[in-house]
């Protein structure tokens, strides 16, 4: 009985961790994607921001789906953190180069 109870607790923590990765990590990824897309979109600043903001909903939905499709909660967190960091680094490099 103890072993199944421990398994239930670890399963619940894994699901809770995925939910946190989907909400927090997905938001961070969508925000970073919005910034990057607004910088590289070939239109005026206001139009680029509008299109990037609309596309961020698709990025967020894809991130949430991916979090629950991946093998482990660790992999889900790693994907969210590394993906966000990559997009932020690209946006930062573009903004330093004068693209923004």
pLDDT digits (tens, 9 = 90+) for 20-72: 999 999 999 999 999 999 999 999 999 999 999 999 999 999 999 999 999 99
pTM comes to: 0.85
Contact (CB, 8 A) for 54 and 37: no
Domains of the chain, by residue range, sit at 2-96
Structure tokens at 92: 């930062």
Q: Are 81 and 25 in contact (CB under 8 A)?
A: yes
- As a whole number of angstroms, the distance between CA 15 and CA 10 comes to 9
> What is the reported pLDDT for 9?
87
Burial 58-89 (b: 16+ CB within 10 A, else e): ebbeebbebbeebeebeebbebbeebbeebbe
Structure tokens of 91? 């946006």
- The predicted-structure confidence for 70-99, as pLDDT tens digits, reads as follows 999 999 999 999 999 999 999 999 988 765
If residue 54 lies in a helix (H) or strand (E), which one and from where to where? helix 45-69
């Amino acid at each position: 009985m103890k072993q199944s109870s421990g398994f239930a607790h670890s399963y619940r923590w894994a699901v809770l961790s995925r939910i946190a990765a989907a909400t927090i990590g997905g938001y961070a990824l969508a925000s970073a994607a919005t910034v990057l897309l607004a910088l590289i979109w070939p239109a005026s600043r206001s139009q680029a921001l509008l299109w990037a903001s609309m596309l961020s909903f698709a990025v967020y939905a894809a991130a949430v789906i991916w979090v629950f499709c991946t093998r482990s909660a660790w992999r889900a967190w790693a994907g969210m953190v590394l993906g966000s960091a990559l997009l932020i680094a690209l946006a930062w490099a573009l903004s330093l180069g004068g693209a923004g």
